């Protein structure tokens, strides 16, 4: 069947099977390989994208379910001039990634968090990111980056 | 995952018609069903998405004061919209899985699946009536064992009605990897008695702890539970905990739930 959705502001269409996962459509049909598949069992969060403004695990949503939806992936996070968004820049500034595999999901989850809670506490950040696993265990700096992206002072946070 | 036909009806009538097909399976948020399909634990011919049926999404107040939640309402919506009217239920919904799972997973899907460690069945057994496209089912009749419910082929959970208790709380002891309840207890105090529903513990799925209900109905305080212990017979033993451990948790969490109930 044919699906059409807005991806990072552009209308995109493609043929999918009933079983095609949203993440496969993004990666394999649209070649948007920024969204990663880590566990493929809904645990790790590397595949988090926004669907109609909400964070979802794209490995656990059918592409057909996203027909007509507004989808945002990590490729759509940079500013219009190509410079990094505030959240992405904070990840770079605070070394919020080691191997980088979980980063797309972390960035998308962080963006969803800051949209609903612009000044989260450290505990709220850690709680919100519980569906995103960093197997380098680089959580301290990820949390620090999210706190910094929210405009808060991070000089006393984590990464002892 | 084996392939299937995907249909997304816009009305309940269309969904009911689509579900009449052989090997048709309803799809809520898919947070359990899609992993099950990947593992080839299920292989429906047709998947009937319920997410496009507007009449099945949302939280409202019924004529009798009950909270009525559409079967296709995601956990995140319940967590936000029930926060004032039924805080214990909102807290339960807001503690399921993680934020991305809560944006997709639905109350109807959770109750239709009846995972023995899911959170929602405890709240439902503590008070709710399950409404389907055919009938109303009291929670006591609805849950019939692990992954088993009174739902018949083609039946869809369209709404869940929760009478709002005077006091209630849900306390779960999380299995840290899955965030399902290693054991969870929902305590609800109504004018005419107390219900104590336990999830995650029994091999038969969610159940009511009758002795605790009797004691708490006389005296709604943690002290009323002194000396009461849940039996380990029929409790789940797995790598996360033994039957005896879960039986102990039932007592501990029930006391904590009574103390937290407001």
pLDDT digits (tens, 9 = 90+) for A65-82: 999 999 999 999 999 999
All residues at 6 or more sequence positions from B27 whose CB lies less than 8 Å from its CB, including other chains: A62, B33, B47, B48, B49, B50, B51, B109
Residue with token string 């947070």? B31
Q: What is the distance between the alpha carbons of residues A136 and A91, in angstroms, rounded to a whole number?
A: 15
**Any A CB within 8 A of B61 CB:** no
Mean pLDDT of chain A: 96
CATH entry 3.30.390.50 includes domain B167-260: yes
Q: At what angle do helices A139-149 and A86-93 cross, to 10 degrees?
A: 140
- Using the Cβ of B248 and the Cβ atoms of chain A, whether some distance falls under 8 Å is answered with no
* pLDDT for residue B182: 96
Residue B9 near chain A (CB below 8 Å): no
**Chain mean pLDDT for chain B:** 96
Categorize the per-residue pLDDT at A158 as very low, low, confident or very high, splitting at 50, 70 and 90: low
CATH label, A2-76, candidates 3.10.20.30, 3.40.50.620, 2.160.10.10, 3.30.2350.10: 3.10.20.30
Give A65 to chain B, closest Cα distance, Å: 8
Asked if B188 and B179 count as a contact pair (C-beta separation under 8 A), the reply is: no
Residue-wise pLDDT for A6-28, tens only, equals: 999 999 999 999 999 999 999 99
CA A23 to mean position of chain CA atoms: 12
pLDDT at B127: 84
Task: Name the minimum distance, in Å, from the CA of A93 to any CA of chain B.
Answer: 26
Instruction: List, for residues A114-127, the tens digit of each pLDDT value.
Output: 999 999 999 999 99
Q: What is the pLDDT of residues B194-209, one digit of tens each?
A: 999 999 999 999 999 9
Determine contact: A62 vs chain B, CB below 8 A.
yes
Distance CA A97, CA B223 (A): 50
Q: Note whether A54 contacts B178, CB cutoff 8 Å.
A: no
> B8 to chain A nearest CA, in Å?
8
Answer yes or no: is pLDDT of A160 > 70: no
Residues in B closer than 8 angstroms to A113, CB to CB, are: 99
Q: Sorting pLDDT into bands at 50, 70 and 90, what band is B178?
A: confident
Q: What is the distance between the alpha carbons of residues A80 and A57, in angstroms, rounded to a whole number?
A: 25
3-class secondary structure, B246? helix
Q: Using a CB–CB cutoff of 8 Å, tell me whether A23 touches chain B.
A: no
Question: Searching chain A, which residue's CA lies closest to the CA of residue B39?
Answer: A41
Q: Where in chain B is the domain with CATH 3.30.465.10?
A: 5-162
Q: Are A107 and A132 in contact (CB under 8 A)?
A: no
Gyration radius from chain B CA atoms = 18
Q: Please tell me the distance from the alpha carbon of residue B216 to that of residue A63, in angstroms, as a whole number.
A: 49
Model confidence, pTM:
0.95
Where does the pLDDT of residue A155 fall: very low under 50, low under 70, confident under 90, or very high at 90 and above? confident
Q: What is the rounded distance in angstroms from the CA atom of residue A23 to the CA atom of residue A151?
A: 31
Does position A136 have pLDDT exceeding 90, yes or no? yes
What one-character-per-residue DSSP string does B10-37 give? Answer: SSHHHHHHHHTSTTEEEESS-TTHHHHH
Task: Residue B67: name the closest of B50, B81, B55, B80 by CA.
Answer: B81
C-beta separation of A65 from B51 below 8 A: yes
- Strands (DSSP E) along B43-151, which ranges? 46-49, 59-61, 67-70, 129-132, 136-138
Q: What is the ipTM of this complex?
A: 0.95
pLDDT at A103: 98
- Where exactly are the structural domains of chain A? 2-76, 86-149
The reply to whether residue A43 touches residue B6, judged by beta carbons under 8 angstroms, is no
> What residue spans in chain B does CATH classification 3.30.390.50 cover?
167-260
Which CATH architecture describes the domain A86-149? Orthogonal Bundle (1.10)
> What is the arithmetic mean of pLDDT over A45-49?
98
Tell me whether B208 touches chain A (CB under 8 Å). no
Whether residue B40 is predicted with pLDDT greater than 60 in this model: the reply is yes
Choose the CATH number for B5-162 among 3.30.465.10, 3.40.50.300, 3.40.640.10, 3.50.7.10.
3.30.465.10
Phi first, then psi: what are they for B36, rounded to 5°?
-65, -40
Q: State pLDDT tens for residues B215-247.
A: 999 999 999 999 999 999 999 999 999 999 999
Give yes or no for B256 touching A (CB within 8 A).
Answer: no
In A10-160, where does DSSP find H-type helix?
22-24, 86-93, 103-116, 122-128, 139-149
């Amino acid at each position: 069947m044919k699906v059409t959705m807005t991806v990072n502001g552009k209308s995109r269409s493609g043929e999918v099977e009933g079983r095609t996962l949203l993440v496969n459509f993004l990666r394999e049909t649209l070649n948007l390989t920024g969204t990663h598949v880590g566990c493929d069992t809904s645990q790790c969060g590397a595949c988090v994208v926004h669907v109609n403004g909400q964070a979802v695990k794209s490995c656990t949503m059918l592409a057909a379910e996203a027909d007509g939806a507004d989808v945002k992936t990590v490729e759509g996070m940079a500013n219009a001039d190509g410079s990094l968004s505030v959240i992405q820049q904070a990840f770079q500034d605070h070394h919020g990634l080691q191997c980088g595999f979980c980063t797309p999901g972390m960035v998308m989850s962080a963006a969803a968090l800051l949209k609903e809670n612009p000044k989260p506490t450290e505990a709220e950040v850690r709680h919100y990111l519980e569906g995103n696993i960093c197997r380098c265990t680089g959580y301290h700096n990820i949390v620090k980056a999210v706190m910094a992206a929210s405009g808060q002072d991070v000089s006393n946070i984590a990464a002892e | 995952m084996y392939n299937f036909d995907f249909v997304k009806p816009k009305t309940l009538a269309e969904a009911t018609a689509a579900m009449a097909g052989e090997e048709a399976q309803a799809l809520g948020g898919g947070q359990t069903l899609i992993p099950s399909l990947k593992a080839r634990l299920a292989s429906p011919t047709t998947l009937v998405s319920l997410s496009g049926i507007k009449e099945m999404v949302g939280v409202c107040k019924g004529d009798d004061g009950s909270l009525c939640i559409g079967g296709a309402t995601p956990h995140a919506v319940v967590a936000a919209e029930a926060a004032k009217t039924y805080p214990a239920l909102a807290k339960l919904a807001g503690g399921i899985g993680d934020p991305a799972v809560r944006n997709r997973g639905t109350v109807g899907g959770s109750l239709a699946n009846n995972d023995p460690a899911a959170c929602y069945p405890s709240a439902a057994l503590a008070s709710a009536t399950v409404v389907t496209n055919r009938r109303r089912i009291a929670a006591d009749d609805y849950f019939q064992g692990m992954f088993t419910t009174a739902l018949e082929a083609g039946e869809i959970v369209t709404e869940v009605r929760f009478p709002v208790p005077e006091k209630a709380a849900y306390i779960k002891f999380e299995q840290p990897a899955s965030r399902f309840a290693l054991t969870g207890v929902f305590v609800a105090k109504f004018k005419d008695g107390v219900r104590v529903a336990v999830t995650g513990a029994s091999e038969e799925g969610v159940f009511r702890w009758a002795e605790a209900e009797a004691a708490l109905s006389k005296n709604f305080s943690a002290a009323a539970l002194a000396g009461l212990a849940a039996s380990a017979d029929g409790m789940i033993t797995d790598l996360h905990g033994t039957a005896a451990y879960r039986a102990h948790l039932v007592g501990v969490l029930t006391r904590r739930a009574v103390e937290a109930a407001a």
